[in-house]
Structure 1
């Protein structure tokens, strides 16, 4: 019984316990930067895609807008798909880095 009471007293005093490590601030900062960059790249790609589609096909019914004549309409093309694929890849990498940075602080 004497050994148990000594262990309880040591635990109450905080002896023998590992100190808590503070969260790594650099990891959190880089994770926040990666998150903001991912949001900015995603928003810019969405804006560019929307404006390209509006310019190509117009807004609203076919009797007004920039694409009045169906024969003159041009699809945005492969360049827009490549832009979106590149932006998606960048957002995926930045999201992975952000998740990794947030997990490192635990």
Structure 2
């Protein structure tokens, strides 16, 4: 936080119920991190929420790209899913005469 930067007020609330053991574990983890329980839980939850939303947005973009040109992303079922074959195809693309030397 930079000096003079506006800190947004925390006015929204989230209530949750958990076991005594769960609360004790959160308190212990927060103490290890030298945070209060609210800051500890909020930090972890917001980090996870950002990850989930970021992945979801990336998936939506990927699906939109595929929807724009679906035939580009369809694998030919007649071609086996074989990494060695794919490497051979790439090699022949770079050196078409190399196939004659394989026989």
**Normalised TM-score (structure 1):** 0.31
By percentage of residues, which structure has more helix?
1
With a CA cutoff of 8 Å and minimum separation of 6, indicate the structure with the bigger relative contact order: 1
**Normalised TM-score (structure 2):** 0.32
